Structure formats: structure tokens, C-alpha cells
Chain A
Amino acid sequence: MSDTVQTGKPLLEVRDLCVAYGAIEAVRSVSFTVQAGQIVSLIGSNGAGKTTTLRTISGLLRPRSGQILFEGRPIHTQPAHAILGMGVAHCPEGRRLFPKMTVEENLLLGAYTRKDEGIAEDVERVYDLFPVLGERRGNKAGLFSGGEQQMLAIGRAMMSRPRLLMLDEPSMGLSPIMTQRIFDTIRDLQRLGTTVLLVEQNALAALAQSDYAHVVDLGRTTIEGTGHDLLADQRVRDAYLGEN
């Protein structure tokens, strides 16, 4: 894992990103790259600017300065639907399903930008991945447990056939077993060819699963390294892994 090449042309490159809500700068200087085929994590404490970074990449927010390149092309000036169309899917924090819609309707909305014939096939693929969703495809999404909802949120994001899947706090509020289940799924998705950018407060779980990781602190990227390296890094252990 640690021998992953960091040179080649990255899938996603964020350069010196600065994002502000009015006068408040949530992200001051975030820079990182994501190589194709990897699982890359952004870890950091609450309010560090991780979610804002993801929302800016997916086009829901506009940066004040800095650049976001996807496959070498700048996307930070593009509207959200165009970025999704290029292959960047965003699975938002707190899952944010459409609770009153059925599982199937949620999945179809995930494929909203697509007009090809393969949508029904992809719905079935999600059901294969998460049989519990397939069994209850006609039920309202709001009736599912937290873990099942997270599965549906990931499935919904996968419906746009993304090359880069961005997951915001997928383990939030889940039991350790369900967290493990979700991370196993993320691994499976990577194996099937999806690059994953993960934002997590659960640093231990995230680092263990990541090829590469960046620490975001007070709106800046600070420490970086492979998941293993950061797990061993004393500063990371002190600040984020609850050791003293």
C-alpha cells in the first residue's frame, strides 16, 4: 500500500483552496491530490473544513481562491450538474436521503443526469451489493436503520457511475460492526475501479482503510502520508486517535 506511486497525473488535484461563508473562512489553504484507484482520506476535527472542501469540489460552493482540477481540467468554475456529469459524485454528510421516497426512487434520482439505457441494470447492481435494499426496494428510505440508510446513500451516489466517489462521514452514528461493513463496501467499490475520497472524524477506521491521507486542521492541510504512516505518526496519534 505504501508503495503506491504518487507521481503520475492525479485524478483530482486541489491547489491552495480557500472557501469562505461571508466573512468567515472555513477553508484557508487546502491542497492535496487523489491518484486514480486509491482511497484517500481527509481527517481532522470538527470544523476543520473537510465538509466545506467536499462541497466545493462538487460545485455546491464556490471557492474564494485556489483551483480544483479533475483529470487536469479546472472544475471549480463549473456548475454542480456538470461536475457530476464529469464523474464526481458526492455522498453528503448525514446521508441526506429523500426519506419520503422509496429506495428505488432515491436510486433513480442518483442517476438523474444519466440518459442511457443502463440505469435499470445499475439499480440491480446496487441491490446485489446491498441485498437488504433490494428486498425492501418499495419502502420509504426514512424507515431504514442508519447503516441501511448509509448503504442507500452510497448506492445512490454510485448510480451516476462516478470515477471519483466522495463520501462525507459515512461512519457517522453507526455501530462499530456497521462501520466495518461500510468500510468493507468502500474497499469493494475501489476494487471495482472507483476512486474514493473520504472525509472522516473516525480517524482510526479511516486511516486503516486508506491508501493515502491528509490531515486538515483549521482550514489547512497539514500532515500527509500513507494511511499506515499516519497511523504511526505521533502527532496524529496525539491529536486524532485519542492517545496521550
Chain B
Amino acid sequence: MSEVSTAGRTGLFRPLSTAGAVATVLGALLPWATFVFNEGPYPAKATLQFFDAPFALSGFRLHLMLFGLAALVVGFTRLPGRGRVLRALGWGVLAVSAVNTVFLISNGGGFGAVSASDGAFAFGCYVGLAGGALLVADNWHASAEPLPRWKFSLPLWAAWLVLLVSFGAVLLLVAATLTAGGLGGAADPYAGPVFLSFLGAAGGLLGGLHGTGLLSWIGELSEKHRLFSVLVLLLCALGLPLTSAGNEYWMTVAANIGVYAATAIGLNIVVGLAGLLDLGYVAFMGIGAFVAANLSGAAASALGIHVPFLLAAVIAAVIAGIFGVIVGSPTLRVRGDYLAIVTLAFGEIFRRAAQNNIGGLTGGANAIPNIPQVELFGLEFNNPVTIGGLQLPGGVLYYFLIVLLVALTMVAFGNLKNSRIGRAWIAIREDEDVARAMGIRTGKAKILAFLTGATLAGLAGAVFAHKTATVSYESFQFLESVTLLAAVILGGMGTIPGAVLGAALLFVLPEKLREFSDYRLLLFGLALVLIMRFRPQGLVPDRHRRAELVAEDVELPAAPKEATA
């Protein structure tokens, strides 16, 4: 295998890769299913066509066609990082083909759906799988190639333009990912596979771009123009309602993701920075939500008073923070596994207490329904808004509110991480004994971590209460805590984009994969195992962890110095 790739690197023509690319193109043109499914053609008739309408390709077959053509072209160029690009494209083709094949077989009642049945033939999936497998196999050792580093510098306006375009592309990709497959459930029975297939294609695309060194370059560029990047990113986030995701449904989904992303960033302080394993973290979000619900003037609330939203949110955050201190106090005495058990117990106590309507504050099994919508500056947050002729969907104000909340938690996290207390937290995570010898008051610092994390979660909970209009103990179960923890670890411990990405993935997947809900946890667990095996540092790793886990990156800090000298 290594001989093949060595030979391929020097020579221009790579027979196996080219064959894979051709197979991918053919696979895209061949029919994929032998009959029309009961729920309607999958997806949108594209699966039944055979060469007769090559320009009418849509959906996953269009993705395959584009990937195949890209691989064909890249295979004949001397593009730096060519092997990496081809391999990423191959993985994308493989993922797209596999998802659709598995779905067609399971939904079509066996291999007849994807082979031959009643005189009809459909071999698209086999050809597609073979194409992807060839591309991956031929470039199996691409990691040995150095990742290309782009070194040219740009004038300011060009750098800004590049960043603007890049973040705009990210926005479109996010919108396309959100809406891929449609609403799901009964409305669209094919939502799950279409979404997963899109995810595979998006992964292949990003992997391919990364292989050229483009993504690292943009990353460095945005590091250099940090403030500008943050502003553009914020603008892009606020621009989501203007894209294809701009209707009430997707605004709600995006707002929910935002709530969990903000909570995950809070958890990232406790787990990612201070290294305190908290298995009951969602309880703090629950406390914030119940406090806000009780102060909202909802008919079912015990207090029956109505406090303005902003004040209620602050009170919710403060009370959640107080509970953070209460739960944090035992951490002075227990470490590691024992701390996990203490926090686990706290989460369960909270849930049971809420379920049994302790103090009449949680509504018990009836929950607290009909929480009024947020009203700020005379705006009712459930209603659509029109800004100068621009019609924005309902729920968009909640989305804006949550974008601001996430931005706020990001700023808090970023500043804390690089502050004195942030250094103390990281020191405690790395070596608690030495942290004490350095004069760090570890007890105080740990409680402060719990306090900060819980406050942010309480704030997110307050928004959550108004957004969903019903607060029930069922929203704050152990599984939610675990999912949040998984979001932090999956995305990359101790980083902001990691927590957001992790939360987005973990809370959008269940939304999209409702028809697989029986297997959801199984798939979820499997995905986590795979990611932890092949990318233990998380999707967006912290620079400390990157150094620890990826040996080949260790020497990198010295390299640019030589290049500039």
C-alpha cells in the first residue's frame, strides 16, 4: 500500500484513485432503487433515474457527482496535500453511499431494493461504495504527507474579505445542515437519511478543504484579526433568519441549540478548565428555569408574581449560582470519581424534588405550563417582526436573544480562561497538589468554578423557560447532563467553538433522527466511541490538549519561526 502511495505522489497519474473517481461519477448516474417506495420516491425521484437525465441529479446523487468530478480533477493535478483531499473525498463518498444504501435496504425490505427486482436493476449503491472505498484505500497513507501550510500574507482589506466570505460560507453551510432533510417525523419520512447523507457530504467537503491547508490558513487569519472575526461571526449568527433556515420551526431548533450551547460553555468552565467532573450539571439549568417560571406570572406558578424578564433572568442566575456554591462545597473534600458521584447525586435529588413538587414550586408531574412569552421594549417575542420591509419569522427574537446569550457566555469564558483565576483552574486540573504549593487557594477556586458555571446555566435556564413556555422536571434528567458533558468532550475540552459545535451536533441529531428514536442512544454512543477513538482531542481541540495528544503537532511551534527567519 505504501509503495502505491509513494509512487502516486511522484507520478501524475494515479490509476486507483482515478478509477474510484470514475466509479463515483457512474454511481451518481446509476439508479439506486428498483421501485418507488410506499412513502413516495426516495428522495425526490432521483433514485430511479438512469443516465436519461444526468443534469437533473439532485440530493445525494448530486453530491456524489460533484465529489466524483472533484476527485477526478484533483487526481490529475499536483495540488499540495492531494492525497489528503482525495482521502477526505473518498470518506465523504463512502459515508453518503453507505447511509443511502443502508436506508434503501432497510426501508425497501432487503437487497431486492438495491439490486434487481421485477425486471428492474439498480446498482448505484455498489458502484458508489466501491468508488469511495477505492479513493480511501489508494490514499490510506495520506497522513504521511505534510499538511500544506499557506504562508502568504494579505493586505488588510483582502484578509477581511476572505474572512467575510468564509464566515458567510459557514453560515450557508449551517443553514443547509439545519434544513437538510426537512422537518422530519411524519411530515417527511426521509428526513433522517437525507440529513445523515448531507452530514457525510459536508464532512467530506470540510475534510477536503482541510487537506488543502485552506481551513488552517483561515483559522490563522481569524486568529490574527480576532475582533473582526468575532464581529463577523456574530453578524453571521444574527443573519441565520435570512437564509433557508428562516422560518419559525428552524428558529426554534436553533434557539434550543443555543440554550444548550450556552449551558455547555458554562459546563466547560467546570469540566474543561477546572477539571471537575460534574454529572448533574443540568440541574443548575433546571433551577434557573424553575425560578424564571415562578417569577413569570404563569398561572401555575406558586408565587403568582410577575417580574420583568431581565430581572427574573438575573435572579434565576443568582439562585442557580448559590446552588452551585452549595454543591461545590463538598468538592473541597472529594476528588475525581467521588466528586462525580456527589454531583450525580445532586442531579438526582434535584430531579426527584422537582418531580414531587417540593415546596409547590415545580408543579411536579403537571410541570409549570403557559409561561408567558418574553416582552421587552414593547416587543412580544413569539411574534414575527418586520424590520424595514424585511419579514422575519416568529421566534426570531428568541433566537436573537439566545445568540446574545451565547455571545455573552463566550466572552465570559474567553476572559476567564486567560485570566489569573483561569490559570489557577487549569493548574488545578493539571496538578492539584502543585497548584496548592503555588499558593492557589484550591478550595476557593473550585467553588468559584462551580459558581460561574452554575450562574451561566441558570441564565440559560431562564431563557429556556420562556422559550419553551413549559418547564417540567423531565427536561432535566441525567441523560441531559450526560449529553452536555458529551458535547463538551466531543467538541474539545476547554474551547469555545468546541462546546458550541458539540452542543449543536448532539441536540440537532435527535431532532433530525426522530424515526430512529429507538436506536438514538445506541447510535449516539457508537458515534462517541468512534470519535473518542479516532479524535480524542475533540473536534476543535484546545492547544494544550492538541500538544498532548497529537505527537506530530508537537514540534510545530518551532517551525514558523524558522520559516520567517
Query: A100: shortest Cβ distance to chain B, in Å?
Result: 4
Q: Is B438 an interface residue (CB 8 A)?
A: yes
User: What A residues does B431 contact at CB under 8 A?
Assistant: 96, 98
B440 in contact with A81 (CB, 8 Å) = yes
Q: Is B220 an interface residue (CB 8 A)?
A: no
User: What A residues does B378 contact at CB under 8 A?
Assistant: none
User: What B residues does A156 contact at CB under 8 A?
Assistant: 438
Query: A244: shortest Cβ distance to chain B, in Å?
Result: 38
Q: Is B474 an interface residue (CB 8 A)?
A: no
B438 in contact with A105 (CB, 8 Å) = no
B557 in contact with A58 (CB, 8 Å) = no
User: What A residues does B440 contact at CB under 8 A?
Assistant: 81, 109, 112
A160 contacts which of B420, B423, B439, B441 (Cβ < 8 Å)?
B439
Interface of B, helix, strand, loop or mixed by DSSP: helix
A60 contacts which of B433, B441, B544 (Cβ < 8 Å)?
B433
Q: Which chain B residue has the least Cβ–Cβ distance from A156? A: B438
CA distance A142 to B433 in the complex (A): 18
CA distance A107 to B424 in the complex (A): 13
Q: Is B311 an interface residue (CB 8 A)?
A: no
Given contacts A79-B441, A98-B431, A98-B434, contact A109 B547 (CB under 8 A): no
B427 in contact with A98 (CB, 8 Å) = yes
Chain B: interface size category: 20 to 34
Q: Is A20 an interface residue (CB 8 A)?
A: no
CA distance A156 to B203 in the complex (A): 44
User: What A residues does B434 contact at CB under 8 A?
Assistant: 92, 96, 98
CA distance A160 to B440 in the complex (A): 12
Given contacts A58-B437, A60-B433, A90-B437, contact A100 B547 (CB under 8 A): yes
B548 in contact with A100 (CB, 8 Å) = yes
B438 in contact with A140 (CB, 8 Å) = no
CA distance A84 to B435 in the complex (A): 12
B433 contacts which of A92, A139, A160 (Cβ < 8 Å)?
A92
B430 in contact with A100 (CB, 8 Å) = yes
Q: Is B426 an interface residue (CB 8 A)?
A: yes
User: What A residues does B441 contact at CB under 8 A?
Assistant: 79, 81
B545 in contact with A113 (CB, 8 Å) = no
B439 contacts which of A81, A92, A139, A140 (Cβ < 8 Å)?
A81
B430 contacts which of A59, A98, A110, A139 (Cβ < 8 Å)?
A98
Query: B272: shortest Cβ distance to chain A, in Å?
Result: 13
Q: Is B436 an interface residue (CB 8 A)?
A: yes
- Convert B518-545 into 0s and 1s, putting 1 for each residue whose CB lies closer than 8 angstroms to a CB of A: 0000000000000000000000000011
Q: Is B554 an interface residue (CB 8 A)?
A: yes
User: What B residues does A90 contact at CB under 8 A?
Assistant: 437
Query: A91: shortest Cβ distance to chain B, in Å?
Result: 8
User: What A residues does B436 contact at CB under 8 A?
Assistant: 59-60, 80-81
Given contacts A60-B433, A60-B436, contact A138 B426 (CB under 8 A): no
A80 in contact with B423 (CB, 8 Å) = no
User: What B residues does A139 contact at CB under 8 A?
Assistant: 557-558
User: What A residues does B426 contact at CB under 8 A?
Assistant: 98, 101
CA distance A84 to B430 in the complex (A): 20
A80 in contact with B437 (CB, 8 Å) = yes
Query: B563: shortest Cβ distance to chain A, in Å?
Result: 15
Chain B interface (Cβ < 8 Å from any Cβ of A):
420, 423-424, 426-427, 430-431, 433-441, 544-545, 547-548, 554, 557-558
Instruction: Supply 8 further A-B pairs (C-beta < 8 A) apart from A80-B437, A81-B440, A112-B420.
Output: A92-B433, A96-B433, A101-B544, A108-B423, A109-B435, A109-B440, A112-B423, A140-B544
* A-B contacts, 29 listed (Cβ < 8 Å): A59-B436, A60-B436, A81-B439, A92-B433, A92-B437, A96-B431, A96-B434, A98-B426, A98-B427, A98-B431, A98-B434, A100-B545, A100-B547, A101-B427, A101-B430, A101-B544, A105-B423, A108-B423, A109-B424, A109-B440, A110-B438, A112-B427, A113-B438, A113-B439, A139-B557, A140-B544, A140-B547, A140-B554, A143-B554
Chain A interface (Cβ < 8 Å from any Cβ of B):
58-60, 79-81, 84-85, 90, 92, 96, 98-101, 105, 108-110, 112-113, 138-140, 142-143, 156, 160
